[in-house]
Amino acid sequence: MNLQSHFTRNAWASLGMLLAISIGSGRAQVDRSHAPEAGPAPQLNIGTSTQFELSNGLKVIVVENHKTPSVSWNLTLDFPPFLEGDKAGLQEMVGATLAGGTSTRSKAEIAEDVEFLGASFNASSDGFYARSLSKHSEALMDIVADAVLHPSFPEDEVEKARKQKLSSLANTATSPGSIASNLVAAINFGPDHPYGEITTEESVSSITRDDLLAYHKTYFRPNVGYLIVVGDITPDDVKRVGERVFAGWRRGDIPFYRVPTPKLPTGNQVRFAELDGAVQSTINITQPVPLPPSHPDAMAVAVMNSILGGGAFSGRLMQNLREDKAYTYGARSSLNSDPVCGQFLAYADVRTEVTDSAVVEFLHEINRIRTTLVDSVDLASTKSFMAGSFARSLESPGTVARFALNIARYGLQDDHYTTYLQRLEAVTVDDVQRVAKSFLKSNNLNICIVGNPSILDKLRPFDESEGVDLFDAFGHAVIPRTPAPEGVTAQSVINAYYEAIGGAKAWKKVAGMETFGSIEFGMGMSLEHKESKQFGKKNRAIRTELAMAGQGVMTRIVTESGGEELQMGQVSRMEPSEVDMSLQAMSPSRFMDMLGKDWQAVVLGSEPFKGEPTVVVEFSQDHVVETHWFGISDGLLKQSKRPSLDGGTQVEQFNHYLPFGDLGLKLPSEKVTSVSGQTMTIRLAKATFNPIFEADTFKLTP
């Protein structure tokens, strides 16, 4: 009998016994007014692994499974977390570029060699995963060992990974999930904790190839590694292959960083991140929890969380907020253990108008599980659900290896998993309430919400301090707006802006402009971008062209007489409102024109933008309101917010101003636009001023 069928058969047999004990069986009359008493849970026989250590200190765990002719190799480096500081995102960059090439193989050659074997290989900042047919296993490990032990981190691969990450970060400001993740991490752990660091555009831009090399040299050491091998291979063969391919991999001392203990808030605190135009709120009620995997109450905590809002659909949060109140599609909770520090999280996406009501219900359920004993029937059904989930996990041969890894890494008892059902069955209703009181501090919660600022007043009653704390998309506290420097007016701000980009007189002489570059959308999609603009009072026009590898994808023409767009051979007309907005926004002298027309311009004050002090100027006309942020030190436009055509808000950020063309006029080499949850980044490579346009430039067809 092979190992997989052996432990799977035993697991299901044990599960059957547990279900029979927990739920009751037979045809005799049963008193259903009380939950049946549970008998002793069986001890599982889930199979064994072979463990040994290579001569360089690499610890190896082998699970044989000869049912299929394949082998998987999984390396995990177990070193303590550390602060990345102003290079937050370093480990992610390492993972993206680790298999980018060596001194003897390029990234393409590594991929080709792996593909030739019909294998798979993925590297990360703390190891790798590789799988192939057993007959190709040794050849695969030759490739993998070369890739992960001798990475060259080619500059072009580093820049490609950086560009992809920056493109992803550009979507953060419009992604409620990303904003919420940043907010929770920053609030629970803070910037001085490895779990509280937030990756930003600035931190990614500062990471160099030398940083990646230094990380690899420091942390890729065999003495902190665990190699898990599962499949059609013997321990002797694993040892032989491992000693050969890892022969040059040397031990090394790993730096130790003393991680500070996160602090609970004083009273419940509301932390809010604004998302303009949001129609729902992302709620995360959370706090840090000291709960290492080896904690004696870990099982009781897991049961308690499952009842509150864990994996079962019957969780109290789901039943309350979805089934009873219909506030959300799903409401859940998690309470994860971690050797450094765990975290409690109760979460849901709810309609904006019921945000405060949803918070009331979250707090009610958290308090209820602390103050009231759970029903014995609910406890029994939860145990059955958890037992079933555990047994299903045993269907994979890799589970035995994962169990052995966890025991070694976290100092668990040798019988931690074989006694799982016994420890699960031993949890009582009193245990559930006890751990709820111990680990859930219902008066020290961080109530983190991402949503429409219109709900702020309704959230203030939940905050027990000096009011709701505001944060940006990257978990940075938003400093309240202060009065602008003395003497600053809308006119002086606009004058400083034009002076910073080349002078108002020079820009008034610009009758047309042509720009070339790229436009990037989500998921790493990038297109060539060319735009021609003709300025003037009666002959304003724009031509925008998108292409991929030189092949046209879209052409849009906007003129005083209307607008049309050609895509995939189909021509569509633009709405008049879209035409008018496009023409109004394109003029380089737009701000000067607005000051001289029937716009009202007001200086709202001063506030930091990405850590830089800015002056905020609001322009309004009828029911249209635009807000613009200008740097105090350099005068440059940093951000604009204006209405979008769909009734929402369009946000534009302007980065990295550079001089272009013979006139030396400055333009942002990067513009990030977010509207209706979609983000695109335009990167400018070349610009010419006052070009001579062909007669048919602003005609869709010649």
- Grade residue 45 by pLDDT with cuts at 50, 70 and 90: low
pLDDT reported for residue 657? 95
In a domain, 585, yes or no: yes
pLDDT reported for residue 232? 96
More confident residue, 343 or 553: 343
- Do 552 and 502 fall within a single domain? yes
In a domain, 402, yes or no: no
- Do 525 and 555 fall within a single domain? yes
pLDDT reported for residue 342? 96
Neighbours of 460 (CB within 10 A): 12
- Do 240 and 295 fall within a single domain? no
pLDDT reported for residue 434? 98
Q: What number is the average pLDDT over the span 66-95?
A: 96
Q: Look at residue 596 and tell me whether its pLDDT is greater than 90.
A: no
pLDDT reported for residue 40? 60
- Per-residue pLDDT tens over the stretch 165-218: 988 888 888 889 999 999 999 999 999 999 999 999 999 999 999 999 999 999
Q: What number is the average pLDDT over the span 467-492?
A: 92
Q: What number is the average pLDDT over the span 228-237?
A: 96
In a domain, 129, yes or no: yes
Q: In terms of residue numbers, what domain contains 308?
A: 269-385+425-471
Q: Look at residue 357 and tell me whether its pLDDT is greater than 80.
A: yes
Cβ-in-10-Å burial (0-12, 13-18, 19+) of 266 comes to exposed
In a domain, 683, yes or no: yes
In a domain, 328, yes or no: yes
Q: Which DSSP letter does residue 481 get?
A: P
Query: What is d(CA 326, CA 317) in angstroms, rounded to the nearest whole number?
Result: 11
Q: Which residues sit opposite 567 in a β-bridge?
A: 554, 570
Number of folded domains that form the chain? 3
Q: Look at residue 36 and tell me whether its pLDDT is greater than 60.
A: no
More confident residue, 104 or 538: 104
> What one-character-per-residue DSSP string does 334-397 give?
EEE--SS-EEEEEEEEEEGGGHHHHHHHHHHHHHHHHHSPPPHHHHHHHHHHHHHHHHHHTTST
- Do 108 and 241 fall within a single domain? yes
pLDDT reported for residue 44? 60
Query: What is d(CA 235, CA 239) in angstroms, rounded to the nearest whole number?
Result: 6
In a domain, 701, yes or no: no
Q: Look at residue 574 and tell me whether its pLDDT is greater than 90.
A: no
Q: What number is the average pLDDT over the span 76-98?
A: 96
Q: Look at residue 591 and tell me whether its pLDDT is greater than 80.
A: yes
Most confident among 282-291, 415-424, 511-520 (mean pLDDT): 282-291
Most confident among 44-53, 59-68, 674-683 (mean pLDDT): 59-68
- Do 501 and 464 fall within a single domain? no
- Do 281 and 358 fall within a single domain? yes
Query: What is d(CA 438, CA 497) in angstroms, rounded to the nearest whole number?
Result: 57
pLDDT reported for residue 269? 97
Query: What is d(CA 463, CA 173) in angstroms, rounded to the nearest whole number?
Result: 25
Query: What is d(CA 444, CA 619) in angstroms, rounded to the nearest whole number?
Result: 42
pLDDT reported for residue 646? 72
Q: Which residues sit opposite 548 in a β-bridge?
A: 551
Cβ-in-10-Å burial (0-12, 13-18, 19+) of 208 comes to middle
Q: Look at residue 23 and tell me whether its pLDDT is greater than 70.
A: no
User: pTM of the full predicted structure?
Assistant: 0.81
- Do 355 and 447 fall within a single domain? yes
- Grade residue 351 by pLDDT with cuts at 50, 70 and 90: very high
- Grade residue 552 by pLDDT with cuts at 50, 70 and 90: confident
Six token digits for residue 384: 């059955």
pLDDT reported for residue 571? 87
Query: What is d(CA 270, CA 493) in angstroms, rounded to the nearest whole number?
Result: 35
Collect all residues with Cβ–Cβ distance below 8 Å to 16 and sequence separation of at least 6.
Answer: none
- Do 210 and 275 fall within a single domain? no
Q: What number is the average pLDDT over the span 618-634?
A: 92
- Per-residue pLDDT tens over the stretch 440-477: 999 999 999 999 999 999 999 999 988 899 999 999 99
- The CATH number assigned to the domain holding 303 equals 3.30.830.10
pLDDT reported for residue 30? 46
Six token digits for residue 351: 């309609």
- Do 681 and 618 fall within a single domain? yes
- Grade residue 281 by pLDDT with cuts at 50, 70 and 90: very high
Domain end position, chosen among 406, 436, 471: 471
Collect all residues with Cβ–Cβ distance below 8 Å to 312 and sequence separation of at least 6.
Answer: 306, 381, 382, 385
Round the average pLDDT of the chain to a whole number and report it.
89
pLDDT reported for residue 6? 36
Q: Which DSSP letter does residue 503 get?
A: -
- The CATH number assigned to the domain holding 508 equals 2.50.20.10
- Do 168 and 64 fall within a single domain? yes
Collect all residues with Cβ–Cβ distance below 8 Å to 529 and sequence separation of at least 6.
Answer: 515, 516, 517, 518, 519, 544, 545, 546, 682
Q: Look at residue 3 and tell me whether its pLDDT is greater than 80.
A: no
Q: Look at residue 651 and tell me whether its pLDDT is greater than 90.
A: no
- Do 588 and 640 fall within a single domain? yes
pLDDT reported for residue 345? 97
Q: E-strand spans in 585-648?
A: 600-609, 612-621, 624-631, 637-643
More confident residue, 380 or 586: 380
Q: Look at residue 7 and tell me whether its pLDDT is greater than 90.
A: no
- Grade residue 1 by pLDDT with cuts at 50, 70 and 90: very low
Question: Quick check: 655 and 681 in contact, CB under 8 A?
Answer: no
In a domain, 12, yes or no: no
Q: Look at residue 25 and tell me whether its pLDDT is greater than 80.
A: no
| Helix, coil or strand: residue 224 | helix
In a domain, 216, yes or no: yes
Lowest-confidence pick of 200-204, 366-370, 676-680: 676-680
Quickly list H helices, 47-154: 90-97, 107-116, 137-149
Six token digits for residue 660: 């272009």
**Percent of the chain as helix, strand, coil, to the nearest 5:** 35, 30, 35
Six token digits for residue 89: 């995102």
pLDDT reported for residue 680? 86
CA distances to 201, 210, 681 from 163, rounded to whole Å, are 10, 18, 11
Q: Look at residue 39 and tell me whether its pLDDT is greater than 70.
A: no
Six token digits for residue 267: 């009273």
- Do 460 and 570 fall within a single domain? no
Nearest residue to 394 (alpha-carbon basis) of 383, 402, 384: 402
Query: What is d(CA 418, CA 415) in angstroms, rounded to the nearest whole number?
Result: 5
